[in-house]
């Protein structure tokens, strides 16, 4: 089930995020950027509180995928600099917990988030690791277009990753 973010999603979403650090050990090309050190729980509460407040203030849209009574994915779109000439734009981020990928959950979350963004944003953008061809193809299917590549945008250990930049208009 795809639904809007709830306050009680905090623990599931933090646990999902922590699991991505475990996954990174086995999959060095894992396609999200990480802090060099795993954030403590209070930092994650601060992040979640900020996201939740942004949703309440109309500066973000956030949907989760719920399976078996727990949130297993998050797709968020956050307004770029509210109150400025950039506020018509939003940045999309998405993650789905291992074991739930490849089942259409990510696509369903993106489509729902885009639907909720209409009337709030005019244009959305995102960045994706160039090695993450599955995600790039998904983004294209839902209407995103490539507009550039940021070479060596991410440095993980001694390896660099290019990042593909994409956008869609609503």
Please give the pLDDT value at position 28: 85
Predicted structure pTM score: 0.94
Extents of the domains making up the chain: 2-122
Residues 43, 49 contacting (CB under 8 angstroms): no
Q: How far is CA 119 from CA 58, 75, 88, 165, in A?
A: 11, 18, 10, 23
Largest Cα–Cα separation, the chain? 43
Residues 89, 121 contacting (CB under 8 angstroms): yes
Helices (H), the chain: 10-26, 41-56, 105-117, 133-141
Please give the pLDDT value at position 29: 87
pLDDT of the chain along its 170 residues, tens only? 999 999 999 999 999 999 999 999 888 888 888 999 999 999 999 999 999 999 999 999 999 999 999 999 999 999 999 999 999 999 999 999 999 999 999 999 999 999 999 999 999 999 999 999 999 999 999 999 999 999 999 999 999 999 999 999 99
Class for the domain spanning 2-122? alpha beta
At residue 153's C-alpha, the angle toward residues 158 and 63, to 5°, is 115
């Amino acid at each position: 089930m795809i639904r809007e973010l709830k306050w009680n999603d905090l623990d599931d979403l933090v646990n999902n995020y922590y699991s991505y650090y475990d996954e990174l050990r086995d999959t060095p090309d894992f396609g999200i950027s990480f802090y060099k050190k795993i954030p403590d729980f209070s930092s994650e509460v601060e992040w979640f509180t900020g996201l939740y407040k942004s949703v309440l203030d109309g500066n973000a849209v956030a949907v989760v995928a719920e399976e078996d009574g727990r949130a297993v994915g998050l797709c968020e779109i956050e307004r770029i600099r509210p109150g400025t000439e950039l506020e018509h734009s939003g940045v999309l981020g998405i993650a789905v917990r291992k074991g739930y990928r490849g089942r259409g959950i990510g696509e369903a979350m993106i489509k729902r988030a885009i639907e909720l963004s209409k009337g709030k944003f005019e244009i959305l953008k995102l960045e994706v690791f160039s090695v993450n061809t599955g995600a790039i193809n998904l983004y294209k299917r839902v209407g995103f277009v490539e507009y550039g590549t940021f070479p060596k945008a991410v440095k993980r250990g001694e390896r660099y990753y290019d990042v593909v930049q994409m956008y869609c208009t609503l």
